[in-house]
A and B are shown apart, each in its own frame.
Chain A
């Protein structure tokens, strides 16, 4: 039996159905990331698990116990909020030991646990400060520390890095990954940033409109997306998707497996820009030199644009005539509903 089970979870806010029947099994120790565009219901789903919103229908089991209607305070979960939600009137030490204090844990044990967590998170010298006297990154670490100290059954993270600047975000992402490796705690992490999803997750849950689009390991989603939405949501820059009707030459490459009303997808790294005369003819629309990568936007038909990504730098300029080569085995096929044809995977 799985550690955390979501069975046909539905959430309605008045007449609006935000979560439309979610089934998910999470194993002990897994790092699960909920990812999706804003408004997809990922935060709501997390709040339902936390008990901060009531579940309209469906059931929730944690560690063999039904917790569908249990109060948050009795679920034994810890959450790291986007706003950190530190207690402004308490010191860092009190913030981190608050849950233990409520649980009437012996003060000596409390002190030891807080000090150990503070050491892991490099917070030892800040224990007597109040949150106001800390930087954003330090507050973030206190919020994480508050969760660690309790050793809860599941850690919940609600977009914890979105208030940090880019450099700190990258650094904290690594710290969270390390922390998970050393603690091995079951974690559910909500983000809209697919890089966080790809780098942190054991399994990624892609949500759209209150439903699960696909569940799988990061590379699984990248290589074998269940549908066009997942294909285009995962990976930067987006996968090129071209409908069969707009680019006949691609249909020829794609072969008979592509339905007449379907479309093909190809990741930018498989689009090769060659000299004019070879491949599909096109003109350069934009060159984005990122240093490590170069993105070349090529217009190959009146409203068909392909993005190519290459490691080498280029001397191509706007308006240059080029050719584009795409190999057949790098293509993904979608039917007219956007479902992937190579492999019909059902959402878990």
Chain B
């Protein structure tokens, strides 16, 4: 607001710079999309005008079975999100409605696990997956995705639950509700927006996750992130196929994000605006 009033005569300056930065950020994506429709030769030549072809997409599907990886991505992200919600909801419930002097500390501790770089936990987790025979398996990925998203889920659900007025919960209890009734009939309907956006965000995060799927899986349980990586091999880059694979990998989540952006924004700013 203060910026708008400090430069009242130059609205076009703001407009132009906004467009400039937006395009700057968007350019790599645009280039990726363009390259995906080129042949390898055109991709190397960086031609701006070319005859679009679907050959790279066809080749990606033939060489490495896109649908197999897409299925893995779908399973791991959906299952880890559902599991995460099932674990995070009771945790957030107890912290939001049965606060103790230590609640704040617990929340901070939960969040602090997110501050450690993932690579710090790579060796122990890899060894655990190996000894339990879970390397390159979907359950291993699901467990890791769930655990790595839990802190964010707990926090988001906690802030959503905190918005429920205490009076309403007390009224529900006096009306004879059990804990489950209370959750089912009061908290759930009142915080549906927050729960939905928490789920959506975690779905996106799990879908985009690359570090663990690259390190814990190969051909069998690989997700789309692993598929993309196959095309940036040391033997040489295949720009067109890499772009095609990337586009295929991000397309579902972009479409999904486009339709759910209202929910996502609401979840991320939950409690920030009264």
Expressed in whole angstroms, the Cα–Cα distance for A98 and B177 within the complex equals 9
Are the CB atoms of B171 and A85 closer together than 8 Å? yes
**CB-defined contacts of B173 to chain A, threshold 8 Å:** 51-52, 71-73
**CB-defined contacts of B190 to chain A, threshold 8 Å:** 88-89
**Cβ of A215 < 8 Å from any Cβ of B?**
no
B residues 170-216 in Cβ contact with A at 8 Å: 170-178, 181, 185-186, 189-190
B171: which of A71, A79, A89 is its contact (CB, 8 Å)?
A: A79
**Cβ of A324 < 8 Å from any Cβ of B?**
no
**CB-defined contacts of B172 to chain A, threshold 8 Å:** 87, 98
Are the CB atoms of A85 and B167 closer together than 8 Å? yes
Q: A85-B168, A87-B186 are in contact. Are A79 and B174 (CB under 8 A)?
A: yes
A residues 133-153 in Cβ contact with B at 8 Å: 146, 150
A87: which of B171, B174, B176, B178 is its contact (CB, 8 Å)?
A: B171
Q: A85-B165, A89-B189 are in contact. Are A102 and B177 (CB under 8 A)?
A: yes
**Cβ of A81 < 8 Å from any Cβ of B?**
yes
- Say whether chain A's binding surface is mostly helix, strand, loop, or mixed: loop
B residues 47-85 in Cβ contact with A at 8 Å: none
Interface 0/1 of A36-71, CB less than 8 Å to B: 000000000000001110000000000000000001
Query: Using a Cβ–Cβ cut-off of 8 Å, how many residues does chain A contribute to the interface with B?
Result: 25
By beta carbon, the residue of chain B nearest A72 is B173
Expressed in whole angstroms, the Cα–Cα distance for A85 and B173 within the complex equals 12
**Cβ of A77 < 8 Å from any Cβ of B?**
yes
**CB-defined contacts of B175 to chain A, threshold 8 Å:** 73, 78, 98-99, 102, 146, 150
**Cβ of A83 < 8 Å from any Cβ of B?**
yes
Expressed in whole angstroms, the Cα–Cα distance for A50 and B176 within the complex equals 12
Expressed in whole angstroms, the Cα–Cα distance for A72 and B166 within the complex equals 14
B221, chain A: closest CB distance, angstroms = 41
Expressed in whole angstroms, the Cα–Cα distance for A234 and B175 within the complex equals 34
Q: A88-B190, A89-B189, A89-B190 are in contact. Are A77 and B174 (CB under 8 A)?
A: yes
**Cβ of A103 < 8 Å from any Cβ of B?**
yes
Expressed in whole angstroms, the Cα–Cα distance for A102 and B171 within the complex equals 13
Interface 0/1 of A85-103, CB less than 8 Å to B: 1111100000000110011
A81: which of B167, B178, B181, B189 is its contact (CB, 8 Å)?
A: B167
Q: Which range holds the interface residue count of chain B?
A: 10 to 19
A273, chain B: closest CB distance, angstroms = 48
Interface 0/1 of B81-109, CB less than 8 Å to A: 00000000000000000000000000000
Expressed in whole angstroms, the Cα–Cα distance for A89 and B186 within the complex equals 8
**CB-defined contacts of A51 to chain B, threshold 8 Å:** 173-174
**CB-defined contacts of A103 to chain B, threshold 8 Å:** 176
**CB-defined contacts of B189 to chain A, threshold 8 Å:** 89
Are the CB atoms of A81 and B177 closer together than 8 Å? no
Q: A52-B170, A79-B170, A79-B171 are in contact. Are A73 and B186 (CB under 8 A)?
A: no
Are the CB atoms of B174 and A78 closer together than 8 Å? yes
By beta carbon, the residue of chain A nearest B186 is A87
Expressed in whole angstroms, the Cα–Cα distance for A51 and B190 within the complex equals 24
Expressed in whole angstroms, the Cα–Cα distance for A310 and B189 within the complex equals 58
Expressed in whole angstroms, the Cα–Cα distance for A71 and B172 within the complex equals 12
By beta carbon, the residue of chain B nearest A94 is B185
Are the CB atoms of A81 and B170 closer together than 8 Å? yes
Expressed in whole angstroms, the Cα–Cα distance for A150 and B196 within the complex equals 34
**CB-defined contacts of B178 to chain A, threshold 8 Å:** 73
By beta carbon, the residue of chain B nearest A50 is B174
Expressed in whole angstroms, the Cα–Cα distance for A75 and B174 within the complex equals 8
**CB-defined contacts of A102 to chain B, threshold 8 Å:** 175-177, 181, 185
B182, chain A: closest CB distance, angstroms = 9
**CB-defined contacts of A78 to chain B, threshold 8 Å:** 174-175
Expressed in whole angstroms, the Cα–Cα distance for A146 and B185 within the complex equals 16
**CB-defined contacts of A146 to chain B, threshold 8 Å:** 171, 175
B174: which of A73, A82, A83 is its contact (CB, 8 Å)?
A: A73
**CB-defined contacts of B168 to chain A, threshold 8 Å:** 85-88
Expressed in whole angstroms, the Cα–Cα distance for A86 and B167 within the complex equals 9
B185: which of A52, A73, A79, A98 is its contact (CB, 8 Å)?
A: A98
B residues contacting A by CB (< 8 A) are: 165, 167-168, 170-178, 181, 185-186, 189-190
12 A–B pairs (Cβ distance < 8 Å), ordered by A? A50-B170, A73-B173, A73-B177, A75-B174, A78-B175, A85-B171, A87-B171, A88-B190, A98-B172, A102-B176, A146-B175, A150-B175
List 13 additional contacts besides A78-B175, A102-B175; criterion CB under 8 Å: A52-B174, A72-B174, A73-B173, A74-B176, A77-B174, A79-B171, A85-B168, A85-B170, A85-B171, A86-B168, A88-B190, A98-B175, A102-B185
